[in-house]
Structure 1
Amino acid sequence: MTSATPYTVADVMTTQVVAVTPSTGFKDIAAAMERWKVSALPVIEGEGRVVGVVSEADLLPKEEFHEHGPGMLEQMRRLGDTAKAGSTHAEDLMTTPAVTIRPDATLPRAARLMADRHIKRLPVVDGDGILKGIVSRGDLLKVFLRSDEDLTAEVRRSVVTHLFPLSHGAVRVAVSHGVATLTGQVKDRTLIPVAERLTRSVEGIVDVHCHLQATKDGPGR
């Protein structure tokens, strides 16, 4: 991946994935979640095709109704939960179809999908629905662990040099704790807001302070 290419799910996902099959029992699912410290597991069949996801929320009804079974009204109101309370295998506990994402999806797309569906983890699948990895909310934040030096180099290379091929030497880029500051003079005033926008779009940049100014003899005065 080149520095100017947006990060994708494939860049941050976890490829070592713990999964269960439709026939996996309740206790084995709970044990796997505890052992691997995850809140949800993909359910796969055949060559690894994802058919659903079983989460802690899918397991909780069994505990909720352990001592006192649901009344008639509650059964009618919560048909899904009460059915899961009596289930013992992943095929009856899982949520299906699974909400999945492709490896080439951008990180903002993954973040929006998680927010819209109120989920913390997404199975990553190829075009045939075969499991390739898992991406979590924490994985999406990995880009913010990039060093200031790395971010400075990318902003200079993919933004400043690209937009200002003639005057890039007069532009100073400084990144501190993920905050980029652009100072100096450029020939085209109309490109200054473009530079700020492109810098803000660099994966890992937290904020941008743009103090670029146009030279008096440049266009867009």
Structure 2
Amino acid sequence: MGSTVVRDVMTAEPPSVTEDASFKDIVRTLVRHRVSALPVVDREGLVVGVVSEEDLLHKEEFTGDDDYSPPLRARLRARLSGVGPHAGSSAAKAAANRADQLMSHPAITVFPDTPVTQAARTMERHGVKQLPVVTDGNRLAGMVTRRDLLMVFLRDDEDLAKEVHAELVETIRPVRGEPPALSVDDGVVTLWGTVERRSLAQTLVRRVGHLEGVVDVVSDLDWRIDDVVPEYVHWRGDSW
């Protein structure tokens, strides 16, 4: 199986708003489509930013009207199945009324052929929960969320076991020998058997752990030669 890319898990043709969309129009769109963020596009249809629930909730923080009922936070949570972002404090966004004033920009984006692992790193690095997916011309192609990226962990155990076996065979081929036995249970891979060297056992565990859909690797591997030098041992000259 090739690496899963964003195109495989994204929502194609997602809802979006234009730069001049009003506060209420943004809220209506979020609620109607049951999403927590929207790409913002300019007149040419190019992605220029992202507006999220968090951006909108700043207005509630700064409202002084005790009759503001029901509060925006309650309405959004009730209609969006429990989604509850943690809004920060921003007087500027609290006074904003249009998408171009509320949005985060420039938009952090990915391409349809971006590997999901790279998309996950991009989300983590920038502290965002979703990414607009754009074409080479920066036109909106989709939207990918953290939940979408977790889809790789729903792979069938049998399918995953085949890929793990292929990875073991490929890794052990240069040194020859038989690959270790394996089992997969709910995404957790267990390896057992004896290999020639301890370093090879470590390599096998590491490479299997990097496969998409592997939740964890349990190693019951043994080895004939322990060729791993403890980190605290330092070689000096011709002696240890």
- Band the TM-score falls in, shorter-chain normalisation: 0.7 to 0.9
Q: Deviations over 1:155-182 (max 9, x none)?
A: 011x1221234534x5322101111112
1:59 positional shift: 1.4
Structure 2: distance between partners of 1:10 and 1:44: 20
Structure 1: tracts of 5 or more residues without a match? 69-79
Instruction: Find out whether 1:167 has 2:167 as its counterpart.
Output: no
Equivalent residue for 1:52? 49
Instruction: Output aligned runs, 1:44-83, within 5 Å.
Output: 44-67=41-64, 81-83=90-92
User: In structure 2, what residue type is equivalent to 1:160?
Assistant: L
Structure 1: distance between partners of 2:117 and 2:221: 28
Q: Percent identity?
A: 43
Q: 2:128 aligns with which of 100, 106, 119?
A: 119
Structure 2: tracts of 5 or more residues without a match? 66-88, 229-240
Q: How high is the TM-score relative to the length of structure 1?
A: 0.80
Equivalent residue for 1:32? 29
Q: How high is the TM-score relative to the length of structure 2?
A: 0.74
The count of residues paired between Structure 1 and Structure 2 equals 203
Equivalent residue for 1:109? 118
Q: 2:100 aligns with which of 91, 96, 117?
A: 91
1:206 positional shift: 1.1
The answer to whether the 8 Å contact 2:189/2:214 transfers is yes
The answer to whether the 8 Å contact 1:182/1:210 transfers is yes
Structure 2: distance between partners of 1:191 and 1:146: 27
Change (3 A) 1:38 1:163: same
1:205 positional shift: 0.6
User: In structure 2, what residue type is equivalent to 1:6?
Assistant: S
Name the SS of the counterpart of 1:141 in structure 2: helix
Name the SS of the counterpart of 1:133 in structure 2: strand
1:81 positional shift: 3.1
User: In structure 1, what residue type is equivalent to 2:177?
Assistant: S
Instruction: Find out whether 1:141 has 2:150 as its counterpart.
Output: yes
Structure 1: distance between partners of 2:61 and 2:168: 58
Change (3 A) 1:115 1:189: closer
Structure 2: distance between partners of 1:194 and 1:85: 52
Structure 1: distance between partners of 2:140 and 2:41: 8
Equivalent residue for 1:196? 205
Root-mean-square deviation (Å): 2.5
Structure 1: distance between partners of 2:199 and 2:104: 51
Which segment is superposed worse, 48-57 or 109-118? 109-118
Equivalent residue for 1:176? 185
The answer to whether the 8 Å contact 1:172/1:183 transfers is yes
Change (3 A) 1:213 1:63: closer
Structure 2: distance between partners of 1:210 and 1:129: 45
Name the SS of the counterpart of 1:35 in structure 2: helix
Change (3 A) 1:61 1:210: closer
